[in-house]
Amino acid sequence: MNKAIFLDRDGVLIDNSKHYYIWKSDQLLLIDGVIDNLKILLQKGFLLFVVSNQGGISRGLYTKDDILKLHTELIQTFKANHIEITEAAFCPHHPEIEKCLCRKPDSLMIERLISKHKISKTDSYFVGDSKSDMDAADKIGIRGIQIVPNQNMFPYLSFLNQ
């Protein structure tokens, strides 16, 4: 079984202090320290996953293709820095428009990744910046680590010293 870190995208990897919805290349601004933090997680043997709610798709603000393009760019940016993201997943739904089980705080998006990549829940973590991220972690039985949005996550990664 593999151990993993599930990472919320906006506010954890990408600075979203200026944009609520992020779907364009010029909005892709990594939070200070992200590259170094992800390298440490990889060195500790974790697979890295991005999991993100993208309700702007359902609202018609942007398309799935826009998000796929941005995720490709994000993954390429990480790859250029010797960081492998195993997979990036997103929920395109918005609760005011339709119901789903994949949108955080529900957990289907993460459960699918756990099953597909043979992830050990007891050895994995969810790093997020919101209550819905922590609720999703609780629902599937992995440890949640809530960070302050748009700040370096390293101070919150004390589990690395265990």
What's the rounded Cα separation, in Å, for the pair 78 and 98? 33
Total residue length of the chain: 162
Please confirm, yes or no, whether 66 is among the known catalytic residues.
no
- 138 a catalytic residue: no
Helical pair 108-116 and 131-140, crossing angle rounded to 10 deg: 50
C-alpha 14/C-alpha 157 separation (Å) is 18
Identified catalytic residue from 8, 15, 66, 133:
8
How far lies 106's CA from each of 17, 53, 103, 134, 137, in Å? 24, 11, 5, 10, 9
| Active centre residues (catalytic) | 8, 10
